[in-house]
Structure 1
Amino acid sequence: MFPKISVIIPVYNVENYLHRCVDSILNQTFQDFEIILVNDGSKDNSGQICDEYAQKDKRIKVIHKKNARVSAARNDGIKMAKGKYVSFIDSDDWIDSEMYQGMINKAEELELDFIMCDYKKRYLDYEEKRTQPIRPGYYSKEDIKNELFHCLIMFEQIEFPPTISNWVCLLNLKFLRKNNLYYDEDIHYCEDSILGSKIIYHSTSFYYLKDHYYYNYFYNPASTTNTYNENKWNAYLKINERLKIYFGKNIEYDFKRQIKINMLYFTLNTLGQLKYSGSNGKERLNRIQEIMFHPKVTEIFEDFKLPNVSWKMKVTILLIKFKLVRWYRLFVLNKRRLGTLHFTDEVLNKQQ
């Protein structure tokens, strides 16, 4: 007998959080699952903790491998999975006890390709509930085209699509394999965004459990998600090029504007986080110039109408469009006159 759900957890140096994560799955009201712990070359005691869990519960499987980052770890889990559905959980997060019962009931009742819930963003001393600006309930293929294709890659307000956090989704494994939906293993930042867009595109049935905050996302300010990293920019460029290849020539829907807004998001994000790069003023100025004058940034503004955002954000975008490097550093990074304009990516999935 195969389990209903395969829970895939990439594990890397999380000995302080792993028990909380795994225990939250073992304490589910729904118990027909397997847990696949992918120890991605941890240097602390995480691998040993994984093995201890496997010895205690036959539903827990462990893969030990050299570090290849989260995308490869999740793909390893997908290939090993035996369940009808798969779920991804980050190893420093945890889930509420009724999550899988609530999601599997709808998934089975409606024979869904995937189902999505909401999440709580957990800080050390408080939490924020996060939901998506789409309606709750069932979506047919026609509904998905009419209501979700407009935000499949990026909302007009420069916000990520509903599926940006793959860990709030329960996905039909046959659906993933049929459509060859796997993570791009050479992308180590924002890898959820590409797969999430493909999931929406190929789905024929989807259900949104709005206001069901089952998932607990632990906010770590030291995460690479929330700090400047020079490698991010190269990853962002690669992501946008692959989106162009996959969606840019689509004949049933024009995704070109969303791809441009996605590139604009990446540009804003990278420039905004330069404040935290630790570089000196001259190096920062050179980096701003390098980004603003990049050909892919210039392409954004070819026949491009400004998105529906605040006036402060529009000013920031115009500074980029007209490559006003010094003005950007003065008024945006230094927060003068225009107020706080730096752009963060807190909704990006956490990376190793």
Structure 2
Amino acid sequence: MEIKNPLISIIVPVYNVEKYLARCIDSILNQSLKNIEIILVDDGSTDSSPSICDEYSSKYENITAIHKKNERVSAARNDGIKLAKGKYIGFVDSDDWIEFNMFESMYKVAEDTKSDIVMCDFKKVGIQNQYKVSQPIREGYYDRNMIEKELFPCIIMFENIEFPPTISNWTILFRRKFLVDNNIYYDEDIHYCEDSIFGSKAMYNANSFYYMKGSYFYNYFYNPSSTTTTFNMKKWDSYVTINNRLKEYFKNDEFDFSRQIKINMLYFTLNFLKEIKGTNLSDKEKEIECKKILNDKAVKNIFKKFSMPDVHFKLKVIIMIIKYRLSFVYSRL
């Protein structure tokens, strides 16, 4: 039996996380706010995750488990949004966990301030250590004018080549009607950095926002041993697609987002080149792969009428190497 009128719908995309899934679900079940529904979207898992989802669903009336073929996290989250009945929507990744008062605290702020979006902070937790992550914007309430004045300048990318405040969608509580009315869903053909474009679109349309700075409610699990040194051009294609979507979506007559979009593409370029350098390819092979990226039209377009961003000297040197397409130099840095 499902909860008819949940206050919050919590969407959990699930894919091959049998080792961590129970910890995640238990942290949601243990929330101090009880009137919530949990939507587990099994995205074609091949381990025991599907049976874990079904076990919880059969035991708890506020848990719904759905099973689908593997279409990646964007499609899984969209499926959850479409099924959600709550006044608000939250996301939790299946290898992470949350503090017991996260959603009660965020719900109260959302209701008190009538905010479309409420955001908290998080802890990045590794095997041996952890550290707190906060955003470089002020705490508190933002109305529409404040959003345009203070957040539009960093809605896609900060000047120092850092992602925007809304990069981590799982730290955010969204008003469901706000998402649906503004047709804000994940781009299902984008499989990398899907949070970034979703968060930017949401903030662009929001009339109100509240930042609970210093409230570290979310625990993001980071396992260094799972980090791969391989790279693939599908990721690069996604990066280029994201930037093209940003250009199309953020055509604003009153605010010029073009520089942020270029800095966003620069971030992707820096990130992908770093991945190439992290492979076991030979120096010559690395040079060939770097050359492909540096000669991409999307990279060349960054530097048309483009001044150097506010970054440290070493990074400025690397950006100059990218600008002048010195693949040999970069591959041997």
Scaled by the length of structure 2, what TM-score is found? 0.97
Runs of at least 4 residues off by over 4 Å: 222-227
Task: Say if 1:227 and 1:126 are closer, same or farther in 2 by CA, change over 3 A.
Answer: farther
Deviation at 1:279, TM superposition (A): 2.4
Of 239, 243, 256, 1:254 maps to 256
8 Å CA contact 1:229, 1:277 repeated in 2: no
* Aligned ranges 1:114-129 → 2 under 5 Å: 114-129=117-132
**Are 1:165 and 2:171 matched, yes or no?**
no
SS of the residue 1:42 aligns to: coil
Query: Deviations for 1:294-326, whole angstroms, at most 9, x for unmatched residues?
Result: 111111001100000000000000000011111
8 Å CA contact 1:38, 1:63 repeated in 2: yes
Task: Say if 1:224 and 1:173 are closer, same or farther in 2 by CA, change over 3 A.
Answer: farther
Cα distance between partner residues in 1 of 2:207 and 2:214: 23
**Are 1:40 and 2:43 matched, yes or no?**
yes
Deviation at 1:223, TM superposition (A): 4.8
Cα distance between partner residues in 2 of 1:90 and 1:296: 31
SS of the residue 2:135 aligns to: coil
Deviation at 1:226, TM superposition (A): 7.6
CA RMSD of aligned residues (A): 1.2
> Partner of 1:110 in structure 2?
113
> Partner of 1:155 in structure 2?
158
8 Å CA contact 2:8, 2:36 repeated in 1: yes
> Partner of 2:52 in structure 1?
49
Scaled by the length of structure 1, what TM-score is found? 0.92
Deviation at 1:216, TM superposition (A): 0.2
Cα distance between partner residues in 1 of 2:248 and 2:282: 37
Deviation at 1:283, TM superposition (A): 1.9
> Partner of 1:183 in structure 2?
186
Query: Deviations for 1:272-309, whole angstroms, at most 9, x for unmatched residues?
Result: 11122332222211110011111111110011000000
> Partner of 2:98 in structure 1?
95
8 Å CA contact 2:283, 2:332 repeated in 1: no
> Partner of 1:335 in structure 2?
none
> Partner of 2:89 in structure 1?
86
Cα distance between partner residues in 2 of 1:276 and 1:225: 9
* Aligned ranges 1:151-300 → 2 under 5 Å: 151-223=154-226, 228-247=231-250, 249-300=251-302
Unaligned runs of 5+ in 1: 332-352
**Are 1:74 and 2:77 matched, yes or no?**
yes
Query: Deviations for 1:145-193, whole angstroms, at most 9, x for unmatched residues?
Result: 0000000000000000000000000000000000000000000000011
Cα distance between partner residues in 1 of 2:288 and 2:112: 56
Task: Say if 1:282 and 1:226 are closer, same or farther in 2 by CA, change over 3 A.
Answer: closer
SS of the residue 1:148 aligns to: helix
Unaligned runs of 5+ in 2: none
Cα distance between partner residues in 1 of 2:123 and 2:248: 34
Cα distance between partner residues in 2 of 1:19 and 1:257: 43
Cα distance between partner residues in 2 of 1:262 and 1:268: 10
SS of the residue 2:224 aligns to: coil
Cα distance between partner residues in 2 of 1:263 and 1:293: 14
Counterpart residue identity of residue 44, structure 1: D
Deviation at 1:220, TM superposition (A): 2.4
Query: Deviations for 1:175-218, whole angstroms, at most 9, x for unmatched residues?
Result: 00000000000000000111110011000010000000000000
